[in-house]
Amino acid sequence: MKILLTSYGSTGDIFPVIALGAACIRQGHEVAFATSPLYRSEIERAGLRYVYLPPDWEQWQYNDAMLKLTRARTPIETLQIIYRHSLPYLDEIVSILDREIAQADLVVSSYLVPYYRTLAERQGKPFAVVTFTPNVVPCASIPPPHPLAMIPLPQFIRPAWNRLSWRIAGIAVDSAINRVIGKPLRKIGIPKFKNWLLHPADCALVSVSPALFQPPGEIPNIFRFVGYMRWQTYPDPEVLQKVSDFCKGKKVPVITFGSVTFKDREKVMERFLRNWPSDRQLIIQKGWVDLDAPSNQTNLCVVGSVSHDALFKHASVVIHHGGAGTTSSCLHAGIPQIVIPHIGDQWFWGREVKRLGVGTSISRSRWPERLCSVLDHISSHDGFRNRADQVRQTLEVEDGAIQAVAELEAYAVRSHHLITERPGKS
């Protein structure tokens, strides 16, 4: 089977799809991955055929886009910012994807690009999506990811309120998308979106642990919890040696904000350094925001790009932004976490870390001043580490990428029957 994958965004949006593609290849399928050039080397390292999609941005342009996203006040506003960024490239994106879809037997996209479904279906190709967080699964047991839907209510009212909230959220999301890109897309033959939030595709893979995160009760049959799909960058031996020499066999805290960026980075770090003891070790991963520290502070070790799995072997606690990929890496490493949310679903992951008992969450507004006391609390309670190790053992028996391939193969078979049974199909 020829499979076309496509995704946009940060590493948390790209790396799970690379892992899916690598698993598809192991199962004998041909795979192409269409995305921006920033990730080409990782895609080709996995053995996938890379397909160029615009924009051809430099790293600073991604940083600027991420900074705009952190200013969004609601999830809907976040979506609108994402779609505005795509407007200058719509014609080229559609042209490239039409060409690639024609060669594919199955199209799999990240959850955030709804018009890709139309492109696939108008060529009669089955379409699936991948989402990296379970709070987009519409069911009565959880509210949609909007503050108004999460107001405190008596438990006997909650399921009915959740169902109503999902319907309202679906209408609001469709309207928000159509306001931004509906008119430009209609010019190239793509109609208005309808019911995207509640039914993004006939097969929606949820790339999180079913044992830990699948909501209780009945969920729509199109959503399949497959487990985490994980891909790691190549471990730089020089960076790993630097970390090893710094730690000298001890576990130390690690701070990383991944692909998050924020304004006044220097001022934030000045506040942090004023409150961080000079005799306390810490590993700082630069990330997209380019965190740094004075070279004369020997208690701090600053590193660049390095795989989570390799870095977190040295971690006693990980302080991070709550991205889906970083949270997953901490859960797989079996270490406690402190989440400092900045954008989107990161507040959700902060709540989930607390629910699982593997860590806590603190506000981004005061984290430089509060971090030491929160870290002391986490480090002094064995319950966090014990629970983190239990979660690690749960995840060891799951293989999300292989399970996802099995779901896609079954869906492709079902879709073939549906397509051939339609009038005019042979």
Residue 422 has pLDDT above 70, yes or no: no
| Residue 62: predicted pLDDT | 87
Q: What are phi and psi of 339, to 5 degrees?
A: -100, 130
50 falls in which pLDDT band (50, 70, 90)?
very high
Choice between 17 and 235, residue whose per-residue pLDDT is larger: 17
Cα 37 from Cα 48, distance rounded (Å):
14
340 falls in which pLDDT band (50, 70, 90)?
very high
167 falls in which pLDDT band (50, 70, 90)?
very high
First and final C-alpha spacing in the chain: 19
Of 280, 344, 399, 311, residue with least CA distance to 145:
344
Residue 418 has pLDDT above 70, yes or no: no
Q: Could you please state the CATH topology (level 3) that the domain comprising 2-228+399-421 is classified under.
A: Rossmann fold (3.40.50)
Q: What is the pTM of this model?
A: 0.93
263 falls in which pLDDT band (50, 70, 90)?
confident
| Residue 420: predicted pLDDT | 53
Cα 18 from Cα 229, distance rounded (Å):
9
Residue 208 CB-half CA count within 13 A: 25
424 falls in which pLDDT band (50, 70, 90)?
very low
Residue type (1 letter), 328:
S
Count of other CB atoms within 10 angstroms of residue 151: 9
Of 327, 280, 329, 319, residue with least CA distance to 300:
280
Percent of the chain with pLDDT over 70: 98
Cα 156 from Cα 101, distance rounded (Å):
47
417 falls in which pLDDT band (50, 70, 90)?
low
Q: Report, as an integer, the average pLDDT of 205-217.
A: 95
Choice between 418 and 396, residue whose per-residue pLDDT is larger: 396
Percent of the chain with pLDDT over 90: 72
216-220, 329-333, 357-361: which has the minimum mean pLDDT? Answer: 216-220
> Do 2-228+399-421 and 237-396 share a fold?
yes
Residue 364 has pLDDT above 70, yes or no: yes
| Residue 275: predicted pLDDT | 95
Residue 426 has pLDDT above 80, yes or no: no
Choice between 333 and 80, residue whose per-residue pLDDT is larger: 333
Q: Report, as an integer, the average pLDDT of 180-196.
A: 88
Architecture of domain 237-396: 3-Layer(aba) Sandwich (3.40)
Residue 425 has pLDDT above 50, yes or no: no
Q: Report, as an integer, the average pLDDT of 330-350.
A: 95
Q: Report, as an integer, the average pLDDT of 313-323.
A: 97
Q: Report, as an integer, the average pLDDT of 80-108.
A: 94
Boundaries of every domain in the chain: 2-228+399-421, 237-396
| Residue 419: predicted pLDDT | 56
Please provide the average confidence, as pLDDT, over all residues in the chain.
92
Cα 40 from Cα 50, distance rounded (Å):
6
143 falls in which pLDDT band (50, 70, 90)?
confident
